[in-house]
Amino acid sequence: MSGSREAILGAIRNTPLQGEHPRPAVPLFDQTAPADLKALFQKSLERMGGKMLLTDAADPMAPVRQAIVKPGPVVSCVPEFEGDMKITPQTRPTDIAPVEYAVLRAAFGVAETGSLCFTEKQLHVNTTGFLPQHLIVLLDPAQIVYNLHNAYQRPEWLQAHYAVFQSGPSATADIEGVLVHGAQGVRSLSVLFQP
- Render pLDDT for 104-134 as a digit per residue (tens, 0 to 9): 999 999 999 999 999 999 999 999 999 999 9
Q: What is the largest CA-CA distance in the chain?
A: 74
pTM above 0.85, yes or no: no
Q: What is the DSSP string of 133-191?
A: SEEEEEE-GGGEESSHHHHTTSTHHHH-S-EEEE-SS-EE--STT--EETSSS-SEEEE
Neighbouring residues of 20: CB distance < 8 A, sequence distance ≥ 6: 158
Q: Supply the pLDDT for residue 46.
A: 95
Confidence bin at 169 (pLDDT 50/70/90): confident
Neighbouring residues of 190: CB distance < 8 A, sequence distance ≥ 6: 50, 51, 52, 53, 67, 134, 135, 136, 137
Handedness of CA 75, 81, 84, 88 (dihedral sign): positive
Confidence bin at 43 (pLDDT 50/70/90): very high
Contact 145, 156 (CB under 8 A): no
DSSP class of residue 58 equals S
Q: Indicate the SS3 state at residue 89.
A: coil
